[in-house]
Amino acid sequence: MKVENINGALREMFQEMIDGGAKKRHVCGLTLGAQNEPQFEGFVKGSDFGIKPLQRLINNMGYNFNIIIVPQDVDNQVTTFINETNQEFLDNCKAYLVDQLSDENAVRSATIAKTGIIADVSNELFSEITK
């Protein structure tokens, strides 16, 4: 599978979830992280992710991101294996997101920016306020 195919499949999956009632912010938090909403917005509108955002997203889904470079005349078995492995990731990614989107604690945790001491203090204050 080529990177543009992965981008297209992820975009289609995310758009289906959003059209089905999931909040775009929640899908973003669970995939790229809460602080990446502008990048996620651009992705949903048609801009492709580069290597770094794809790597972050794939790692957040519990997978490793590896690049496989093959000769142009590669055996069909290799291409089939790569496509099947990537499709398995996409299927599992969708199941994971559906599960996580129904878990309020997971959504809450994923949509809070986690950057430095200010975020830590803010989270502590929020916890104290909501008790």
Sequence-distant (6+) residues with CB within 8 A of 99 are none
Domain boundaries, the chain: 3-129
d(CA 100, CA 27): 9
Please state the φ and ψ torsions of residue 102, each to the nearest 5 degrees: -90, 0
Q: Are 21 and 27 in contact (CB under 8 A)?
A: no
Enter the pTM of the model: 0.78
Residue range 45-102, pLDDT digits in tens: 999 999 999 999 999 888 999 988 889 888 889 989 999 999 999 999 999 999 988 8
